[in-house]
């Protein structure tokens, strides 16, 4: 659940409203899985998007360190402003280190999505096909014909543009709700994106950890 009284398990800062909807839907999906304990959480949105998470996550989340047991910051690598200075891993490490230094020691996780959120949706075709009303072959052919060929690791260089191309060809309107709907049904074992798996594992850790509530 995202609301409630008293101390909560997890505070999550995300880059924008679309990410907020997708992450919320994903969490609710994950919490229904066998072996995942119930948990409470709060979602916050950065007013300055990905760059705001990179530069100010520690400031935004610091006031919550006594009311939440854990904290996470999630942002896209593309658009964060550090693409030419830091790797994805370095960007996440920087944010997490600052969080640790600002009240979240041993309770923080920063996740940088490489390159951006839409990769989570495109990483598995089964649900995507149903939402678009198209076949798996159609999805692959449409992406390939538009030049969106995955690399040897199955990663698309520009998943946001690829997602928009699929919507255009399927004559579907772009909406955050559609992404959230896909996230709510995303099979955890099928999406191998490292950032997705990191977030899933951290949420499970937050739910299962015996760490005492902050005082």
The tally of domains found in the chain comes to 2
Provide the 8-state DSSP code for 12. Answer: E
Q: State pLDDT tens for residues 146-205.
A: 998 776 666 677 888 988 999 999 999 888 888 878 777 766 556 678 888 899 889 888
Neighbours of 52 (CB within 10 A): 20
What pLDDT, on a 0 to 100 scale, did the predictor assign at position 58?
A: 98
Structure tokens that stand for 203 in this block: 């949420």
| 3 assigned to some structural domain | no
141, 89: one domain: no
What pLDDT, on a 0 to 100 scale, did the predictor assign at position 83?
A: 94
Tell me how far apart the alpha carbons of residues 18 and 177 are, in angstroms, rounded to a whole number: 8
Tell me how far apart the alpha carbons of residues 163 and 177 are, in angstroms, rounded to a whole number: 14
Burial of 136 (C-beta count, 10 Å sphere; 0-12/13-18/19+): exposed
104, 67: one domain: yes
55, 102: one domain: yes
53, 159: one domain: no
Burial 54-76 (b: 16+ CB within 10 A, else e): bbbbbebbbebbeebbbbbbbbb
Give the SS3 label for residue 54: helix
101, 66: one domain: yes
48, 138: one domain: no
Average pLDDT of every residue of the chain: 86
13, 93: one domain: yes
H or E, element range at 122: helix 118-122
**pLDDT over 90 (residue 101):** yes
| 29 assigned to some structural domain | yes
Lowest mean pLDDT among 61-65, 124-128, 211-215: 211-215
| 1 assigned to some structural domain | no
167, 193: one domain: no
Tell me how far apart the alpha carbons of residues 203 and 3 are, in angstroms, rounded to a whole number: 16
Q: State pLDDT tens for residues 4-36.
A: 444 899 999 999 998 998 889 888 887 887 777
Dihedral of alpha carbons 173, 174, 176, 181, sign: positive
H or E, element range at 70: strand 68-76
What pLDDT, on a 0 to 100 scale, did the predictor assign at position 1?
A: 45
Question: Which of 85-92's residues contact partners 24+ apart within 8 Å by CB, and which partners?
Answer: 88/112, 88/114, 91/54
C-alpha distances in angstroms, 116 versus 31, 124, 160, 170, 207? 23, 15, 7, 22, 26
| 127 assigned to some structural domain | yes
What pLDDT, on a 0 to 100 scale, did the predictor assign at position 154?
A: 62
| 133 assigned to some structural domain | yes
22, 77: one domain: yes
What pLDDT, on a 0 to 100 scale, did the predictor assign at position 202?
A: 92
128, 203: one domain: no
- 57: domain CATH number? 3.40.50
Percent of the chain's residues with pLDDT above 90: 48
End-to-end CA distance of the chain: 22
Give 80 or 180, the one with higher predicted confidence.
80
170, 194: one domain: no
48, 112: one domain: yes
Measured in degrees and rounded to the nearest 5, phi and psi for residue 193 equal -60, 130
What pLDDT, on a 0 to 100 scale, did the predictor assign at position 4?
A: 40
| Containing structural domain, residue 135 | 118-181
**pLDDT, mean of residues 129-138:** 86
């Amino acid at each position: 659940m995202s609301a409630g009284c008293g101390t909560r398990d997890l505070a999550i800062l995300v880059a924008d409203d679309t990410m907020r909807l997708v992450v919320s839907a994903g969490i609710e999906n994950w919490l229904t899985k066998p072996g995942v304990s119930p948990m409470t959480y709060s979602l916050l949105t950065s007013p300055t998007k990905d760059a705001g998470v990179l530069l100010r996550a520690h400031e935004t989340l610091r006031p919550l360190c006594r009311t939440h047991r854990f904290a996470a910051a999630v942002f896209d690598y593309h658009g964060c402003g550090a693409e030419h200075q830091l790797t994805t891993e370095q960007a996440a490490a920087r944010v997490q280190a600052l969080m640790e230094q600002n009240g979240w020691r041993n309770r923080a996780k920063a996740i940088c999505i490489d390159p951006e959120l839409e990769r989570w949706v495109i990483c598995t075709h089964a649900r995507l096909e149903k939402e678009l009303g198209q076949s798996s072959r159609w999805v692959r052919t449409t992406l390939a014909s538009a030049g969106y060929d995955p690399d040897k690791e199955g990663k698309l260089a520009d998943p946001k543009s690829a997602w928009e191309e699929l919507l255009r060809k399927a004559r579907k309107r772009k909406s955050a709700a559609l992404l959230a709907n896909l996230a709510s049904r995303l099979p955890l074992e099928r999406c191998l994106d490292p950032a997705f798996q990191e977030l899933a594992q951290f949420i499970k850790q937050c739910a299962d950890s015996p760490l005492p509530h902050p005082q």
